[in-house]
Chains A and B, each alone.
Chain A
Amino acid sequence: MIGFGGLNAFRTGVTLLALAFLALFLLYPLWIVLEASLHDAHGAWSLAPYAKILASRYYVGSLDNSLIAGALSMVCATAIGVPLAFCMARVDVPGKSLLMTLASLPLVLPSFVGAYALVLLFGHVGVITVALRSIGLPVGDIYGLSGIVIVFTLTLYPYVLMPTVAGFKAIDVSVEEAARNLGASRWRVFRTVLLPIVVPSVLAGALLVFIETLENFGVPSVLAEDRPFLSLDIFKLFAGESDSNPAAAGALSTMLVGITIAVLLLQRRYLAKRRFATGARRAPPTILLSRPWLLLATAYAWGVVLLSLLPFGAVLVISFLHFSGPVLSWRFGLDNYATLLHGSYQPLYNTGILATAAALAATLFGAPIGYVLVRHRGKLSTLLDVVAIVPFAVSGTVLGIGMIIAFNSGWLVLTGGWLILVLAYVVRKLPFSIRSASAIVHQIDPSLEEASINLGVSPLKTFVTLTVPLMAGGLVGGMVLVWVTVAAELSSTIVLYSSRWATMTVLMFQALEGTAPGQSAAAASILILFTAVPLLLVYRFLRRQDGSLL
């Protein structure tokens, strides 16, 4: 193309650079994991590892458990998310905007902290378990499937909630009025018009919940105890000192990635064909409910959101209580924090440094990619668009394992340093950065850039002086989100960290395995503050509380 000089070179350059980056740090490690699974014990090409896994009752059980937990969590998250979404979109629930902000928190708060809170409260020696037992009431077992599904449901339901609220709000009121006018009752309108229109949004969110549960490492590591679980077994097979088996780890990883990619493709295919909500010209009005119904809706909405945040609140409180060994006493103090950090603030610094580096890199890299993907359609950028969603489907554990093997020796050695952590984070968070940048570029009319060029400013200068400032506000929001999710990241960190670069999540993970619940609670509380505070600040200053960036 002539006439676009510098800008065109810039676009091609960005696309090629991004493809090279993802090929080296995403596809190559994934290929290594896949390749490891295709050899038998003697190193010959073979599908033996898969045969072995499918013949093993333990690993089939592991697959089963993961899929069942995922499916149940998906159903439960939908069951509580859809009614909540309707309340948020159409009922005048008091404190709605605060409620929306609070409801988005569980998505960024580290889910394994939620799992840990459940253990603290209801575990074998949990606060509530002990209290109830002392008055003679038995408490059910929260370990295993039930606990895992509870935690997944309470931390992942916003994935269903957010798009469904948007879906309900995007239905033009005239559609509803037409149905009423044709003689349908309110309930009939809901059942035959509103609900079918939001089904694609609901399903999109529900499948995301499913994918997240399959990839999640932290929650089962806290709650599974000795039960087989896919993401745990991959880690054990890879890192276990006695039973390390890269071929089996590779085979399980490939299965995991295969399932998530299949679900992701299913979701994309399904959504591509169904675009019902076309954006409301007139937003649907809130429904006036009689007092008892309004009370019920309010109690439900606030109840769900507070319940999902309760574990995090409990951890915060417990972290300030004094423990004598594992036994809790009701004396407040900071000694848990003192013991946890015992003179070394290094993990705190590490989390700050790594999250900042990753957030900056992901934004600096993601913004131009997002721009190119929106403004410049071509074969290369279409390929990039496809490759850039792969990180969604790859669990942090699998990516970490691939990167360890890929960059442990050879021409590029990265293991043991900070760079490999940052690279893994950037790869994992790049889809978020790209998506938030694309969303902003979509809102900038291309004729603005053309007007600037037309008035005599060169394309490249137009990009720098007009487009980038217009994008800036949104980029900050995306950057903070990357920062927050990196600070809470456990799955890839636990594979890739070295002792010099242990983060707060690692510290917490180690504290969990020890016998000092106070320190775990302190570590968990620091993580909660690290994630919740920046997010709330972004909401406060950018007035974005719709969770659209998540």
Chain B
Amino acid sequence: MTAIRLDALTRTFGTVRAVDDISLTIAEGELFTLLGPSGCGKTTLLRMIAGFCDVERGSIWFGDKRIDQLPAHQRNIGMVFQNYAIFPNLTVADNVAYGLKARKVDRRETDRRVAEALEMVQLPNHGARWPHELSGGQLQRVAIARSLVIKPAVLLFDEPLSNLDAQLRTHMRVEIRQLQKSLGLTAVYVTHDQEEALAISDRIAVLRGGRIEQVGSPEAIYRTPETAFVGSFMGATNMLSGVIGTSDGSTTGVLVGGIELRVPGEVGAAGERVLLSIRPETLRLVEDGAPGHQVAARLTLREFLGPILRLHATLPDGTAIRVAALGGQMVRTEPGGDLLLGYDPTQILVYPAP
């Protein structure tokens, strides 16, 4: 059980600031995810914690012990690599025992802990196998066993599921989460997959250009993104640019795509440009004359996705807008027909225009 504290970490490659003055505190037993597009600095940050990337400025603390000056092999960190990094010249058992040998754990203790770790990842009796005899998912389990068996202070995951197929990916992320919870390990998890991040994390930091955009629980990140970048990165949303119109005290009108949308509160001076984020699932199909706020749109394409029905529509001036309805809902309108979309002003997020 170790808390991690990153203090004003900076690292540049040439002229690029890969990690730019990042400070974070990760609580004991927390699974903390670094999320962002490629090049955002998440992997560099993880590798700085692991000791594979120098800290240029700032410090890293495990509890009250500063570790950024320690060489990588003395940090006692478990790490699961993107491509598993299973030693091809060693059997499964020897792979798992590798870190114990380095720690000079005696033979009997080693055998016991290796068997225990393999049991934990549901690979009992696989110790004598060679890596080339295992499937991708099994290699992943070996990699996890190998990182757990050394009783690490902290566990790091570098996009561990990106090489697995979709079904195995959802399965493994549940297993990783359960293992981490049951062992009470502090874990840092890197991914570019927002769904994976939402599913697995206690808290998420969204990174962009080496800086933190937002830190928060999965719900907070998804529901109340603090910046337009976080909003659009966390799953499909309608990003519409508009101009502020008149305010009636409780809501303000914003002119978007030839119509007016009401947004909550006072958002700025009239005539100012803003960005609106409307999630497709917050829009409803309504009948003529229904109460509440509505806008008219024209249907261009329907996509039936099983659980949901995605509608592609355009606002009067041609601006595209997406609507997600439940798949079971009957929608009779054919492409080319008119739709009436109901919305709730409190579900619309307003950001300053870039």
The answer to whether the Cβ of A455 comes within 8 Å of any Cβ in the partner chain is yes
Contact with A along B124-158 (1 / 0, CB 8 A): 00000000000000000001001100100000000
Contact with B along A1-12 (1 / 0, CB 8 A): 111110000000
The answer to whether the Cβ of A101 comes within 8 Å of any Cβ in the partner chain is no
Contact B99 A458, beta carbon cutoff 8 Å: no
Contacts A1-B54, A455-B146, A456-B103; is A450 near B73 (CB within 8 Å)?
no
Contact with A along B66-91 (1 / 0, CB 8 A): 00011111101111011101011100
Give A445-462 interface residues, CB cut-off 8 Å to B: 445, 447-448, 450-459, 462
Contact B71 A5, beta carbon cutoff 8 Å: yes
The answer to whether the Cβ of A469 comes within 8 Å of any Cβ in the partner chain is yes
The answer to whether the Cβ of B98 comes within 8 Å of any Cβ in the partner chain is yes
Which chain B positions have C-beta within 8 A of A4? 71
Contact A453 B72, beta carbon cutoff 8 Å: yes
Contact A455 B51, beta carbon cutoff 8 Å: no
Contact A445 B85, beta carbon cutoff 8 Å: yes
The answer to whether the Cβ of A470 comes within 8 Å of any Cβ in the partner chain is yes
Say which size band chain A's interface belongs to: 20 to 34
Contact B71 A456, beta carbon cutoff 8 Å: no
Give A325-367 interface residues, CB cut-off 8 Å to B: none
Contact B85 A456, beta carbon cutoff 8 Å: no
Closest residue on chain B to residue A470 by CB atoms: B89
Closest residue on chain B to residue A449 by CB atoms: B85
The answer to whether the Cβ of A466 comes within 8 Å of any Cβ in the partner chain is yes
Contact A457 B81, beta carbon cutoff 8 Å: no
Contact A450 B81, beta carbon cutoff 8 Å: yes
Contact A456 B81, beta carbon cutoff 8 Å: no
Task: Tell which of A455, A459, A462 touches B150, judged by Cβ atoms closer than 8 Å.
Answer: A455
Task: Tell which of B69, B74, B77, B99 touches A2, judged by Cβ atoms closer than 8 Å.
Answer: B69
Contact B87 A466, beta carbon cutoff 8 Å: yes
Contact with B along A427-459 (1 / 0, CB 8 A): 000000000000000000101101111111111
Contact A454 B71, beta carbon cutoff 8 Å: no
Distance in Å: Cβ of A235 to nearest Cβ of chain B: 48
Which chain A positions have C-beta within 8 A of B103? 456
A4, A453, A458, A470: most-surrounded residue (chain B CB, <10 A): A453
Contact B81 A451, beta carbon cutoff 8 Å: yes
Distance in Å: Cβ of B90 to nearest Cβ of chain A: 9
The answer to whether the Cβ of B114 comes within 8 Å of any Cβ in the partner chain is no
Which chain A positions have C-beta within 8 A of B83? 445, 447
In the bound complex, how far is the Cα of B81 from the Cα of A453, in angstroms? 13
Contact A453 B85, beta carbon cutoff 8 Å: no
Task: Tell which of B52, B54, B88, B98 touches A455, judged by Cβ atoms closer than 8 Å.
Answer: B98
In the bound complex, how far is the Cα of B77 from the Cα of A462, in angstroms? 17
Task: Tell which of B71, B89, B146 touches A469, judged by Cβ atoms closer than 8 Å.
Answer: B89
Which chain B positions have C-beta within 8 A of A453? 51-52, 72-73
Distance in Å: Cβ of B112 to nearest Cβ of chain A: 18
Contacts A2-B54, A3-B54; is A454 near B72 (CB within 8 Å)?
yes
Contact B150 A456, beta carbon cutoff 8 Å: yes
Which chain B positions have C-beta within 8 A of A450? 50, 52, 72, 79, 81, 85
Which chain A positions have C-beta within 8 A of B146? 451, 455
Distance in Å: Cβ of A4 to nearest Cβ of chain B: 7
10 A-B residue pairs with Cβ-Cβ distance under 8 Å, sorted by A, are: A448-B88, A450-B50, A451-B85, A452-B87, A453-B72, A454-B51, A456-B102, A459-B71, A459-B72, A470-B88
| Residues of B that sit less than 8 Å from A by CB | 50-52, 54, 69-74, 76-79, 81-83, 85, 87-89, 98-99, 102-103, 143, 146-147, 150
Closest 4 CB pairs of A and B: A455-B99, A456-B102, A451-B85, A447-B85
| Residues of A that sit less than 8 Å from B by CB | 1-5, 445, 447-448, 450-459, 462, 466, 469-470
17 extra interface residue pairs, beta carbon distance < 8 Å, beyond A453-B73, A466-B89: A4-B71, A447-B83, A448-B85, A450-B52, A451-B143, A451-B146, A452-B98, A453-B52, A454-B72, A454-B77, A454-B78, A454-B147, A455-B99, A456-B73, A456-B99, A456-B103, A457-B98
